[in-house]
Amino acid sequence: MRASLACRSKLTSKNSLKPDVSKLMKKTALLIIDAQFDFCNPSGTLYVPGAEKDIERITRLIALDGEKIDGIFVTLDTHKVLDIAHPLFWEDRNGNSVAPFTLITAAAVKAGKWIPRYEKEYVLTYLETLEKQGEFKHFIWPEHCLVGSKGASLDDTLMESILAWTHRTGRDYTAISKGIHPLTEHFGVFKAQVPVENAPETALNQAFLAELAEFDRILIAGEARSHCVATSINQILKYATGLIPKIIVLSDCMSDVTNWGHLADPIFEDAKAKGMTFLNANSVSI
């Protein structure tokens, strides 16, 4: 009897030394921000130079390490033609639509230089709120990622890569649309720049943040580094600090809108200081 108990004790002791594999396995998410035709293809209306190479590196990562990626999330910038940051929303004193890349300030609107064709009182308040934030000035963009258009679709190469991953792993990808509300910019994937009252799609996306929190590692890539990626990183720093140590920013899988990289630089420096990891795709160990 004593021998039997001693034997059981030894077995229990040996078993206790075995690692719990389920606890050692880390769940990895890949968050790809706005990797769409209009940003990634030279024929796109708001092409980001370098985006094709970014796509190559993202798809290579999926091809080589896809089985170790537990979830792929893609965000889709999605706009209406009559959007607060599109030309047809605005006119000058002569009734002409405003040209892309025009800077519009609250002061210029008050002076009558630029006139919103819609929601005039709201727009002035919006501009004043945006300017107080100090993050972005209001620029007019070329019409891009129009709902239902080719420009709004995922880059073809990336789409093929994700579909191949789905068939290999049996896991589906998750798509999140942003920017559909025409009365606010929506750079960051988690929240519009100025949330619109009674428009929950512009408020902080707590459900999306909670879903990402279920992963141990979150790889971030996409376009454009200067705008949507940097703003998304900044939103994590503000609203989801628990995610910070989980984030790996794939530095060579994103590019800037030409001459706008300075917008992202201080955000990325702050993120590094607070514990985010920045690596090239081929240096990531999943």
Residue-range domain boundaries for the chain: 25-77+143-283, 87-139
Strands (E), the chain: 28-33, 71-77, 90-92, 103-104, 114-116, 138-139, 174-178, 217-222, 247-250, 277-279
In this prediction, residue 9 has a pLDDT band, given cuts at 50, 70 and 90, of: very low
Extract the tokens encoding 93.
Answer: 């004193």
Burial tier of 100 (Cβ tally within 10 Å: 0-12, 13-18, 19+):
middle
Q: What is the pLDDT of residue 21?
A: 44
In this prediction, residue 24 has a pLDDT band, given cuts at 50, 70 and 90, of: low
> At the fourth CATH level, which superfamily is domain 25-77+143-283?
Isochorismatase-like (3.40.50.850)
Please determine, for residue 263, whether its predicted confidence score (pLDDT) is greater than 60: yes
Please determine, for residue 66, whether its predicted confidence score (pLDDT) is greater than 60: yes
Extract the tokens encoding 270.
Answer: 């702050």
Strands (E), 146-246: 174-178, 217-222
pLDDT digits (tens, 9 = 90+) for 76-87: 999 999 999 999
In this prediction, residue 11 has a pLDDT band, given cuts at 50, 70 and 90, of: very low
Q: What is the mean pLDDT of residues 31-43?
A: 98
Higher-pLDDT residue of 5 and 229 is 229
Q: What is the pLDDT of residue 25?
A: 72
Extract the tokens encoding 13.
Answer: 């002791």
Please determine, for residue 8, whether its predicted confidence score (pLDDT) is greater than 90: no
CB-based contacts of 259, cutoff 8 Å, min separation 6: none
Please determine, for residue 65, whether its predicted confidence score (pLDDT) is greater than 60: yes
Please determine, for residue 241, whether its predicted confidence score (pLDDT) is greater than 50: yes
Peptide bond into 224 cis (omega under 30): yes
Q: What is the mean pLDDT of residues 159-164?
A: 98
Q: What is the mean pLDDT of residues 103-119?
A: 98
- CA atoms within 13 A of residue 26's CA, in its CB half-sphere: 10
Edge-first strand order for the sheet with 277-279 is 174-178, 71-77, 28-33, 217-222, 247-250, 277-279
265, 270, 275, 279: CA torsion to nearest 10: 0
Rounded percentage of the chain residues whose pLDDT exceeds 70? 92
Please determine, for residue 12, whether its predicted confidence score (pLDDT) is greater than 60: no
Q: Given CA atoms 91, 94, 95, 98 in this order, what sign does their dihedral have?
A: negative
In this prediction, residue 1 has a pLDDT band, given cuts at 50, 70 and 90, of: very low
Q: What is the pLDDT of residue 10?
A: 45
Element (H, E) at 11: helix 2-16
SS3 146: strand
* Amino acid in position 233: I
Please determine, for residue 125, whether its predicted confidence score (pLDDT) is greater than 80: yes
Please determine, for residue 17, whether its predicted confidence score (pLDDT) is greater than 80: no
pTM of the shown model? 0.90
Whether the CB-CB separation of 104 and 91 falls below 8 Å is answered with: no
Please determine, for residue 231, whether its predicted confidence score (pLDDT) is greater than 80: yes
Q: What is the mean pLDDT of residues 183-200?
A: 97
In this prediction, residue 111 has a pLDDT band, given cuts at 50, 70 and 90, of: very high
In this prediction, residue 3 has a pLDDT band, given cuts at 50, 70 and 90, of: very low
Q: What is the mean pLDDT of residues 34-47?
A: 98
Q: What is the mean pLDDT of residues 104-111?
A: 98
- Average pLDDT for the chain: 93
Please determine, for residue 16, whether its predicted confidence score (pLDDT) is greater than 80: no
